[in-house]
Amino acid sequence: MSEATHIEKRVQDSTMQMVLKKGTIRDAVFQHSVLCQTFLPYRNPGPDVRIWKQKQGNVSLAIQAGETFNPEKDDFEFIGLPYGPKARLILAHVNSEAIRNQSKSINVEDSMSAFIKCIGLNLDGRTINEVKNQLRKLSSSTLSLGYSDKEKGRQVDLKIVKAFDIWFPKDEKQRVLWPSSIQLTDDYFNSLINHAIPLDERALAALSHSAMGLDIYAWLVQRLHRINPAEPQFLTWKAIKEQFGRGYSQMYKFKQIFRKTLTLARSQYPQAAIYEEKNAGFWLQHSPSPIEKKTFVALGDISN
């Protein structure tokens, strides 16, 4: 089976599951609400790019890459910004482990391999190396979150990971896949507890090949259920391109990609009410969350 055919089958199977059974809190993984509105780069922005900025409405995100200490060189080195679908999936997994266990300490060694298999990725050398790379990049980056209204602005700077061993032995006999644990910073953990958005893990598995697909899905989930049922909201193509179209210089090309990827994301969120007004933009209407509302219990209870 070709990779394209495998992805199509995975999406179709997941779509059927969504129709037959709505997600519960036990199917949920979590993303920070700000990262459901503003996003990591889709692809590698290059070795010289040290800061990535994005804005959506009154929320702004800046991701700044830092340097990490390499014991082999006995020096700090720049390893770049996190990007792509795997960075998004890793962060969702780390968030979810923290919320389920109500702990800043994440047992990566026991949980990461199971998560990779659960979302349909092969636990092979290539995947392991890619996940390690993105884990390093996430650990060394600082998120700056900006909020503004007409009168004032507010900025919060967050390091996600406080400390962990991000360099791994080269000796394959040691079979070190992941660090035993990582420690989230107090600031990030507290912000996450207050601003976590539950996403359906089955949807993330189906969309695990597409960074834009993951972003559109997360955006729809965090936004549609908050819309007043009596007041649909309209977004112009210009606004949508500003949010999702970094790297696309031509509007017509972005429209092609966005429409196709929106269809993919909606297949994993059948309740999503979003309709295009030809050549103008999209109407967004109130939609139920893909995770049953009655399961929004105290986050500390979901591991029981």
Separation between Cα atoms, residue 92 and residue 185, nearest integer Å: 16
Query: What average pLDDT does range 122-139 have in this prediction?
Result: 83
Asked if residues 170 and 125 have their Cβ atoms less than 8 Å apart, the reply is: no
Predicted local confidence at residue 295, as pLDDT? 45
Q: Is 153 exposed, middle or buried (0-12, 13-18, 19+ CB in 10 A)?
A: exposed
Note whether 185 and 159 are within 8 A (CB).
Answer: yes
pLDDT of residue 4: 67
Confidence tier at 166 by pLDDT (50, 70, 90): low
SS3 call for 220: helix
Two tokens at 129? 């190396």
200 within 8 A of 268, measured Cβ to Cβ? yes
Range of the domain at 29: 3-301
Q: Calculate mean pLDDT across residues 164-173.
A: 53
Count of domains for the chain:
1
Instruction: Report the C-alpha gap between 65 and 254 in whole angstroms.
Output: 27
Q: Of residues 125 and 88, which shows the higher confidence score?
A: 88
Q: How far apart are CA 117 and CA 110, in angstroms?
A: 12
For the segment 252-279, what is each residue's pLDDT rounded down to a tens digit? 999 999 999 999 999 999 999 999 998 8
Query: Among residues 201, 12, 236, 42, which one has the least CA distance to residue 114?
Result: 201
Q: What is the pLDDT of residues 42-54, one digit of tens each?
A: 999 988 899 999 8
Segment 150-161, tens digit of pLDDT: 778 888 888 888
In this model, does residue 299 exceed pLDDT 60? no
- 206-219 mean pLDDT: 96
Mean pLDDT score, 117-131: 80
